[in-house]
Structure 1
Amino acid sequence: MSENEKDLGVAMALLERFTTQTLPRALEIKERVDRGEQLSQRDIDFLQLTLTERAEEIKPLVERHAEYQEVYAQAVHLYKEITERALLNEEKASPPT
């Protein structure tokens, strides 16, 4: 099996998991933070694992295949939007010091 065939298999599995599991959960979290809710520890753990650690794991694949860069960039941007909004929500909920 060639390196490209291995990459394609890995990419297909990752995209399947992303579209059926990761993206729907991330969008649900984004909806909640957009409404002003705070992140739960479960949300934080999900974001930490899925959108940071796994993003770093697949970065070499994305670097080898330009066709995956846009979806990768969009996922990273979604993570950034969620965390920025969640931080604002935390700041609003915390009493001033």
Structure 2
Amino acid sequence: MIDQEELDKGTIAALMIRFREYRLPRALSILERLDAGGRLSERDIRFLKRVYRDGWQVQPLVKRHPEYSELVARTLDLYARIIEKGIQNEGPALQQQLHPEETQED
């Protein structure tokens, strides 16, 4: 029977591969687009929701392995910056949708 430590090692290895090969590049790409004034797409929002949900699921693992706490904190900070920038970039678009008469040129 596999003990918890062995299960954790396998889970951590899989999570690190997914983070390095998929999630981090995707997050950095989204942030780059937002920094250039872009907006979050529906696909981006689904991605962020999935990451948020997964973050809650790995909490017990991080508690058992506090050596990953800093990485998790830095990753959460990255996602928070993405969300904040996405909200900031939505401001002008929402303003235009809510008050189109104010943005029309005469």
TM tier, shorter chain? over 0.9
Q: Does 1:29 align with 2:30?
A: yes
How far the C-alpha of 1:70 sits from its partner, in A, is: 1.1
SS at match of 1:36: coil
Q: Which amino acid aligns with 1:2?
A: D
Gaps of 5+ in 1: none
Distance across 2 between alignment mates of 1:8 and 1:44 = 30
Query: Structure 2 length as normaliser, TM-score?
Result: 0.85
State the distance in 1 between where 2:60 and 2:92 align.
38
Where do 5+ consecutive residues of structure 2 fail to align?
Answer: 100-106
TM-score (norm 1): 0.93
Runs of 4+ aligned structure 1 residues displaced above 3 Å come to none
User: Does 2:87 align with 1:87?
Assistant: yes
What corresponds to 2:7 in structure 1?
A: 6
| Sequence identity percentage | 42
- The secondary structure found in structure 1 opposite 2:40 is coil
Instruction: Select the structure of larger CA radius of gyration.
Output: 2
